[in-house]
Amino acid sequence: MATFGTLSDRLVETFKNLRTKGRLSASDVDGTVREIRRALLEADVALEVVKKFTADVRERALSDEVNKALNPAQQVVQIVNEELVAILGGEQRKLQFAKTPPSVIMLAGLQGSGKTTFAGKLAKKLKDDGHTPLLIAADLQRPNAVNQLQVVGEQAGATVYAPEPGNGVGDPVKVARSGVEFARQKQHDIVIIDTAGRLGVDEELMKQASKIRRATDPDEVLFVIDSLTGQDAVNTARAFQEGVDFTGVVLSKLDGDSKGGAALSVASVTGRPIIFASNGETLDALEEFHPDRMASRILDLGDVLTLIEQAQRTFDQEEAQKVAEKLAKEAFTLDDFLEQMQQVKKMGSMKKMLGMLPGMGSQMKQQLEGFDDSEIDRTEAIIRGMTPAERHNTRILNGSRRARIARGSGVTVTEVNQLVNRFEQAAKMMKKVARGESTGIPGMGTIPGQKTGASTKRGKKGKKAKHVGGQSGNPAKRAAQASGQPPAQPSGSGFGLGAAAAPEAPNETDMAEIQKLFGK
């Protein structure tokens, strides 16, 4: 479950009750605001934030603008969305760099908040953007903190400045100051200082952090806070703001199963923007924080823009073009399938990506929970257990070959058979796409501009054969005709979501197709 899973479910359920009303009365608005208040309080949002938020929503929901709207329920959802964006900071704020390098970024926060891991993630992101970051190990108190930073620094491909062993040895202020000078000499354009934390806010922690700030004069002081903290997040943030002050907030562990109140409270209470959201264990799991996109996720409206940006960062356009050209001329092989899976893996968790699509949070919650990302690794192991000839032509996979592949990849022969069957179906679909035909995926229909894949002449012949005696050639439709009932019509768009409003019962067919393709 995502951090905002429970809150999102409550809000979506609240708005669903409004959709049946053509006009909203004052009692309808009060009831909705009451449910929103309860949902926010259960999510551990600070009371002062809840009071202001619900008061603003109520005032706007009772306005003439909503009363005169053609769809009052949608207007209320829009109001809640705009108010959520406001308490999350309004507009996105990016890191600010010094005019003269190096830019100094100091990290502050309690012990266990995820500062060191975030330091590695930020270093990797900055390095990927063309910078030369230097990590400074100024947390000399926590056991093995210096070693941990060296490990994440190596994973990120960044230099780590660690003159002291730590574990209670060394002067962190001196290390921070000399580290900035080292960066200047070695021409590192960005410095990231990992400072010590405590299990709780105390005077010694604040003094040390204040001394490091005065010694290094950082361009950014980022307060890293654990998204699982709940109500205590507000008190901790205020204490750091008074003791050290910070320029921005980083939400760590945003992928955890928590109530999410910290994210909805800190920016509003402190007046400092949330700049990054850390949402996974890998060093790639770091997002720039967009208040409008996060509000959309909370209201289950999706976050397609972030999904597109992740795809643009990870997919090789030249490679994709080569695959497209190859498909137009040759067969889709297991080697191609393996390459495409590896591209998808670079984007991160499949469950997380699917959750960014509109309506997936509430409509497909159980299916998303059951989606196992490790199935992709298992599928990859099976393919790698094949010879080049077997990957190129699955028709040569007889019983003994399949048994050998199963033993080599640590799976059963049944799983090998299932993969081959799924792949052959996927290959047929890819070939249709390459020829511009309809894919035949349930709920997707024919893409505008696509060819039907059959000539007009052939289609006419088929039509005559199909409707001999006034009966449909489709068994399901023919049975419906015989019973006197109209045939069932497909509803919804991709992933079972309706175009105007989500159906009461979600269509699970498309989710099943996705799970089949990746090994569920």
Domain boundaries, the chain: 5-87, 103-309, 315-445
Determine the 3-state secondary structure of 141 from DSSP: coil
* Alpha helices for 62-113 (secondary structure H): 64-67, 72-87
- Please check if 196 is assigned to a binding site: yes
Q: Tell me the three state secondary structure of residue 136.
A: strand
Whether 194 has a binding-site annotation, put simply, is yes
Residue 114 marked ligand-binding: yes
Spatial separation of the C-alpha atoms in residues 15 and 470, rounded to whole Å: 45
Q: Which helix (H) or strand (E) holds 403?
A: helix 399-409
Q: What is the DSSP letter of 446?
A: P
State yes or no: 473 annotated in a binding site: no
Fold (CATH) for 103-309: Rossmann fold (3.40.50)
The partner residues of 225 in beta bridges, in order of sequence, read 251
The Cα–Cα gap between 119 and 151 comes to 11
Q: Is 195 annotated to bind ligand?
A: yes
Residue 254, marked binder = yes
- CATH code for the domain defined by 315-445: 1.10.260.30
The answer to whether 132 is a known ligand-binding residue is no
Residue 109 among known ligand-binding residues: yes
Predicted pLDDT at 476: 47
Q: Is 141 annotated as a binding residue?
A: no
Q: Which H, E and C letters describe 254-271, residue by residue?
A: CCCCCCCHHHHHHHHHHC
pLDDT of the chain along its 520 residues, tens only? 344 666 777 777 777 777 666 677 788 888 888 988 888 888 888 888 889 999 998 888 887 766 665 577 778 888 888 888 888 888 889 999 999 999 999 999 888 888 999 999 999 999 999 999 999 999 998 999 999 999 999 999 999 999 999 888 899 999 999 999 999 999 999 999 999 987 777 888 888 999 999 999 999 999 998 877 767 778 888 888 888 889 999 988 776 555 567 667 888 888 899 999 887 778 888 888 888 888 877 776 654 455 555 555 555 566 656 666 666 666 778 887 787 777 666 665 555 555 555 544 445 555 555 555 667 788 888 998 999 999 888 889 999 999 999 999 888 999 999 889 888 887 777 667 666 654 444 433 333 333 444 444 444 444 444 444 455 455 445 554 555 544 444 333 322 233 333 333 344 444 554 455 444 4
pLDDT at 447: 35
110 is in an annotated binding site: yes
DSSP output for 320-375: HHHHHHHHHHS---HHHHHHHHHHHHHT--HHHHHHTSTTHHHHTHHHHHT--THH
127 is in an annotated binding site: no
- 115 labelled as ligand-binding? yes
The answer to whether 112 is annotated as binding is yes
252 is in an annotated binding site: yes
Cα 219–chain centre separation:
29
Q: Are 105 and 95 in contact (CB under 8 A)?
A: yes
Does domain 5-87 fall under CATH 1.20.120.140? My reply is: yes
For the entire predicted model, the pTM comes to 0.61
Q: Determine if residue 126 is labeled as part of a ligand binding site.
A: no
Q: 411: number of CA atoms within 13 Å, CB side?
A: 22
- Give the residues across from 167 on adjacent strands: none
Alpha helix segments (H runs only) across 112-171: 115-128, 145-156
Q: Are the CB atoms for 443 and 494 separated by under 8 Å?
A: yes
Give residue 260's pLDDT.
Answer: 63
Q: How many residues does the chain have?
A: 520
Q: Which pair of structure tokens corresponds to residue 166?
A: 């730590």
Do 5-87 and 103-309 have matching folds?
Answer: no
